[in-house]
């Protein structure tokens, strides 16, 4: 199976950021013993104003400008070491609770640990550079990056009518690329780059539909998932919807919107071609399944394959 490749847009963005950082880096300053009075005056004159706006590229130590994300996000984590404490029910083998119910959700969240909440680009990269990558996670460990205020469980009001795009990849063949795939999945979520439906009505943009992303490490495979707050199979009829419901949140428009997320996930995030077949052995295709259909496993579940 082919590995993921770095998208051109990501290469350009990374190179531009590096060029900006290099171009704006100040020249080396002399050691303290080498600075004379004239140099001190020059340094004082050139010292940044405490009230001035400075980006992280202009001053990586005392920058005053943060680049806010569209939404705030929270990273959650669980592993075998965080489970079964205080008599809590064991976490199931999949990356979602087995039965959506209030009691199940409470036990599920007892096992999951909140790592940090973030709302800026700088905070995201600080987090990413200081946590264990998925390739080094123990089996049965999971990272969950969800919008602030949404817990990574079916029972949450933001998730109960939704579903998930997911892919399963053999662990031994994908350990070298899973970290990159997880990074791009997170960037697509926090950058909200895969949520614009085709021919979206104007002028009001549709409400964000992605609630979170998950990476799961298992003894034989990895699983990546993108969760949505709506799913075509569980969407009510237009007559029962509030009058201010966006046109892209029901019917064929919703189906196209969910499909666009799946295609973006497969091609721009994971690096595969749209028609590439991935299933076989421990691999799955890029599949969508509503949370309500997930309850029907192994019978009656309707998977949507991209």
pLDDT of residue 184: 97
Output the CA torsion sign for 27, 28, 32, 34: negative
Backbone angles phi, psi at 188, to 5 degrees: -65, -35
Whole-angstrom Cα distance, residue 98 to residue 107?
11
pLDDT of residue 236: 63
pLDDT of residue 284: 94
The first and second tokens of residue 279, run together, are: 């299933």
From residue 38, alpha-carbon distances to 28, 44, 213, 272 in Å are 17, 10, 55, 60
Candidates 166, 121, 159, 119; CA nearest to 142 is 166
pLDDT of residue 140: 94
Candidates 32, 29, 27, 21; CA nearest to 63 is 21
Candidates 189, 84, 209, 194; CA nearest to 143 is 189
pLDDT of residue 56: 57
Radius of gyration of the chain, Cα coordinates, nearest whole angstrom: 23
Whole-angstrom Cα distance, residue 167 to residue 163?
13
**All structural domains of the chain with their residue ranges:** 69-305
Per-residue pLDDT of the chain (306 residues; tens, 9 = 90+): 444 344 455 445 444 444 444 344 444 444 444 445 454 344 344 545 556 777 656 665 666 778 999 999 999 999 987 765 543 334 334 444 443 444 555 566 778 999 999 999 989 998 999 999 999 999 999 999 999 999 999 889 999 999 999 999 999 999 999 999 999 999 999 998 876 555 554 545 567 899 999 999 999 999 999 999 999 876 566 666 777 777 788 889 899 999 999 999 999 999 999 999 998 888 999 999 999 888 776 565 678 998
Full-model pTM: 0.73
**Cβ(286)–Cβ(262) below 8 Å:** yes
The first and second tokens of residue 103, run together, are: 């009691």
pLDDT of residue 208: 85
pLDDT of residue 294: 83
Whole-angstrom Cα distance, residue 117 to residue 3?
31
Candidates 141, 219, 224, 144; CA nearest to 180 is 224
Label the pairing between strands 68-78 and 210-217. Answer: unpaired
Whole-angstrom Cα distance, residue 216 to residue 135?
10
Domain spanning 69-305: which superfamily?
RNA Cap, Translation Initiation Factor Eif4e (3.30.760.10)
pLDDT of residue 108: 64
């Amino acid at each position: 199976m082919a590995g993921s490749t770095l998208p051109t847009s990501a290469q350009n963005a990374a190179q531009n950021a590096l060029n900006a950082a290099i171009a704006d880096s100040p020249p080396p300053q002399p050691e303290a013993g080498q600075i004379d009075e004239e140099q001190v005056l020059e340094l004082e004159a050139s010292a940044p104003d405490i009230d001035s706006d400075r980006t992280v590229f202009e001053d990586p130590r005392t920058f005053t400008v943060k680049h806010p994300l569209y939404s705030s996000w929270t990273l959650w984590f669980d592993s075998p070491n965080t489970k079964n404490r205080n008599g809590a029910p064991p976490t199931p083998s999949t990356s979602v609770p087995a039965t959506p119910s209030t009691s199940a959700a409470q036990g599920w969240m007892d096992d999951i640990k909140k790592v940090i909440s973030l709302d800026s680009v700088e905070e995201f990269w600080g987090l990413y550079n200081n946590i264990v990558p998925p390739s080094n996670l123990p089996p049965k460990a999971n990272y969950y990056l969800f919008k602030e205020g949404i817990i990574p469980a079916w029972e949450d009001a933001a998730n109960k009518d939704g579903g998930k795009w997911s892919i399963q990849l053999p662990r031994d063949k994908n350990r070298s690329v899973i970290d990159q795939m997880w990074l791009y999945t997170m960037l697509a979520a926090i950058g909200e780059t895969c949520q614009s439906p085709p021919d979206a009505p104007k002028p009001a943009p549709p409400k964000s539909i992605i609630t979170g992303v998950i990476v799961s490490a298992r003894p034989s495979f990895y699983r990546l998932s993108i969760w949505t707050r709506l799913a075509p199979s569980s969407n009510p009829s237009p007559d029962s919807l509030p009058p201010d419901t966006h046109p892209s949140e029901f019917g064929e428009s919703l189906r196209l919107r969910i499909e666009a997320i799946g295609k973006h996930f497969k091609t721009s995030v994971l690096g595969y071609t749209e028609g590439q077949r991935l299933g076989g052995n421990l691999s799955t295709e890029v599949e969508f399944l509503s949370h309500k259909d997930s309850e029907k496993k192994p019978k009656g579940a309707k998977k949507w394959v991209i």
